[in-house]
Amino acid sequence: MRYFIWLTFLLALLWLGLSGVYKPLLFILGGASIALVVWLTERMEVLGAEHDPGALSWRLPVYWLWLIGQVVLANIAVAAAVINPRRIRPRMIEIDAPQHSRVGQVTYGNSITLTPGTVTTRLDGSQGRLQIHALLPEAISDLEAGEMERRVCWLEGPP
Amino acid sequence: MTELILDVVSGLLLLGGAAFAVIGGIGVMRFPDIFTRLHAGGITDTLAPLLIVGGLVLQSGFTLLTFKLLLILLFLLFTTPAASHATARAALVAGLQPVTRDSTDQKETRSSNS
Amino acid sequence: MGAVLLATILAIFTTMILALWRAIAGPSVYDTIVGVNVFGTKTVLLIALITYFSGNDDLIDVALVYALINFLAVIAVLKLIRQRDLAAAPEGGDD
3-state per-residue secondary structure call for chain A: CHHHHHHHHHHHHHHHHHHCCCCHHHHHHHHHHHHHHHHHHHHHCCCCHHHCHHHCCCHHHHHHHHHHHHHHHHHHHHHHHHHCHHHCCCEEEEEECCCCCHHHHHHHHHHHHHCCCEEEEEEECCCCEEEEEECCHHHHHHHHHCHHHHHHHHHHCCC
User: Per the CB < 8 Å rule, is B25 touching C38?
Assistant: yes
Q: How far is A57 from chain B (nearest CA, A)?
A: 17
What percent of chain A has pLDDT above 90? 2
Question: Quick one: pLDDT at residue C95?
Answer: 44
pLDDT of residue C48 exceeding 50, the answer is yes
Question: Quick one: pLDDT at residue A147?
Answer: 81
The verdict on B18 touching A (C-beta cutoff 8 Å) is no
Question: Quick one: pLDDT at residue A55?
Answer: 58
The verdict on A124 touching C (C-beta cutoff 8 Å) is yes
Average pLDDT, stretch A150-154?
Answer: 81
Q: Which residue has the higher pLDDT, B105 or A159?
A: A159
Question: Quick one: pLDDT at residue A96?
Answer: 81
pLDDT tens for A47-72 read: 655 555 555 667 788 888 888 888 88
pLDDT band per the 50, 70, 90 thresholds, residue B114? very low
Q: How far is A1 from chain B (nearest CA, A)?
A: 26
Which residues face C58 on adjacent strands?
none
Q: How far is A99 from chain C (nearest CA, A)?
A: 17
How many CB pairs (< 8 A) connect B and C? 147
Question: Quick one: pLDDT at residue A32?
Answer: 92
User: Per the CB < 8 Å rule, is B37 touching C95?
Assistant: no
pLDDT tens for A80-115 read: 888 887 877 888 888 887 777 777 888 888 888 888
Contacts of B78 (CB under 8 A, 6+ apart): none
Average pLDDT, stretch B12-24?
Answer: 90
User: Per the CB < 8 Å rule, is A18 touching C61?
Assistant: yes
pLDDT tens for B69-100 read: 888 898 888 888 888 888 888 888 877 777 77
- Amino acid (one-letter) located at C84: R
Q: How far apart are CA B17 and CA B7, in angstroms?
A: 15
Average pLDDT, stretch A141-159?
Answer: 78
Model ipTM value: 0.79
The verdict on A127 touching C (C-beta cutoff 8 Å) is no
User: What's the order of all strands across the beta sheet hosting A118-124?
Assistant: A91-96, A129-134, A118-124
Question: Quick one: pLDDT at residue B112?
Answer: 40
Question: Quick one: pLDDT at residue B110?
Answer: 43
Q: How far apart are CA A44 and CA A32, in angstroms?
A: 18
How many CB pairs (< 8 A) connect A and B? 105
**Mean pLDDT for all residues in chain A:** 81
Question: Quick one: pLDDT at residue B109?
Answer: 43
The total of other beta-carbon atoms located within 10 Å of residue A133's CB is 25
Cis (ω within 30 of 0) for the bond into C27? Answer: yes
Nearest to C34 among B52, B87, B93 (CB): B87
